[in-house]
Structure 1
């Protein structure tokens, strides 16, 4: 077997193991309650050791939500670059942040179960804040690239850190509203809601 094949197999096994851990965490949190969904119990349910668990997640809460740090490669950032079709800078940053937390809101088969857990334990949403804090340097660099790609010269002096903070707040509020409303609307609507919240704030403070 050549090296590329070995790497491909290794990657597939890691994806499968992560998926088992996420499903085990969600299953146990729903069945037994979040307090009893311990790392040991989740690991046993997934058929791995607790040591292996921590190769994938920092905590049981992260496993329940499917938190994973997105590698912000140049290709990833290009997917959210401000487009010449009129896509605004705020929307581009919001899309980037939603991509970072996509596992929690985007995987349809687990999304409803995760949202049921979050409704009972809204404090879990703070894990997204922790994730963004961990990725702060990467996110600021990515936003700086997005600002530089904006075709509107009037926005090239925008402070990346301030823009990231505003959009991050908009995303968190939009998600809280979405969960409180039953998370029945398509998650794609989160982008427009978060972006409108940011625009509303910036308009009101001018």
Structure 2
């Protein structure tokens, strides 16, 4: 079997095992689901299951939603704008689950009654944050021509921003509605925006929004396909200011699959 065919076969086998695990978990519950049941349902051996997944929890979780080595290397060495480079990095992450929205929604339902799965998700969040943190350190070293202090706030900002983009894209992808007090008693609240067709599209929407918010010239606009320009948007004075630290960002990012 050629390497390409082997990769396709591996991907199909993993997908079949994950789908069986999701189905059995939804029907019988996480505690009642066994590896043997999943193997039988997927039409593979128990050994095959463990060749692809380390644990019962791993069969349910999406991802890993982490960037490839090539994408990290490109981010480190790029002289481009930070948001644009983070967009490319997060799109690389998104590609691993781009067409699995239904899986994600089922997983959120399962997690509501099985909070122990959050421990496994947290481990992935820590790994993601560590990779971005290291990449940010190397990027600044490359740009500045010298090694930055490990406490350089720019490193934390980049790490937090990457997590925020990924978490926000998740919410946009599944149609989460933000609560806006300025519109709570008003009949002028905007109509719902269309749900992105893919996770990659959701990442692009979030990055477009971030670009527009950070543009001090006021010239940037959001994609017309997703945002309608309004004259009665809440002013900056009405927006809440949130103070965050690195630990809270990691914990919040862990909620991405809830």
When the two structures are superposed, what TM-score results if normalisation uses the length of structure 2?
Answer: 0.53
| Structure 2 match to 1:111 | 101
Going from structure 1 to structure 2, the CA distance change for 1:98 and 1:8 (only over 3 Å counts) comes to closer
Any stretches of 5+ residues in structure 1 without a counterpart? Answer: 151-156
Alpha-carbon distance, 1:7 to partner: 3.3
1:193 alignment counterpart: 206
* Greater percentage in helix: 1
SS at match of 2:96: helix
Map of 2:40 onto structure 1: 44
What does residue 160 of structure 1 align with? 155
The answer as to whether partners of 1:21 and 1:42 remain within 8 angstroms in 2 is: yes
Q: In structure 1, what is the Cα distance between the partners aligned to 2:33 and 2:195?
A: 28
Deviates more, 1:159-168 or 1:71-80: 71-80
Q: 1:139 to 1:44 in 2, by over 3 A?
A: farther
Residue 148 to residue 34, structure 1, CA distance change in 2 (3 Å): same
Query: What residue ranges of structure 2 are gaps of 5+ in the alignment?
Result: 144-151, 178-193, 215-235, 244-258
Aligned equivalent of 2:167: 172
* Aligned position for 1:22: 18
What root-mean-square deviation, in Å, do the aligned CA atoms of Structure 1 and Structure 2 show?
Answer: 4.3
SS in 2 for 1:65: coil
Q: What is the match of residue 221 of structure 2? A: none
Max radius of gyration: which structure?
Answer: 2
1:131 to 124, 128, 131: 124
Secondary structure at the aligned position of 1:54 is classed as: helix
- Aligned residues of 2:68 and 2:92 also touching (Cα < 8 A): no
Q: How do 1:76-91 and structure 2 match up within 5 A?
A: 77-78=73-74, 84=80, 88-91=81-84
C-alpha separation in 2, matches of 1:175 and 1:126: 19
* Separation (CA, whole Å) in 1 of partners of 2:155 and 2:163: 12
Question: Who is 1:96 aligned against?
Answer: 89
Deviation at 1:118, TM superposition (A): 0.8
Quickly say closer, same or farther: Cα 1:46–1:147, change in 2 above 3 A.
Answer: farther
Count of aligned positions: 188
Tell me what 1:12 maps to: 8
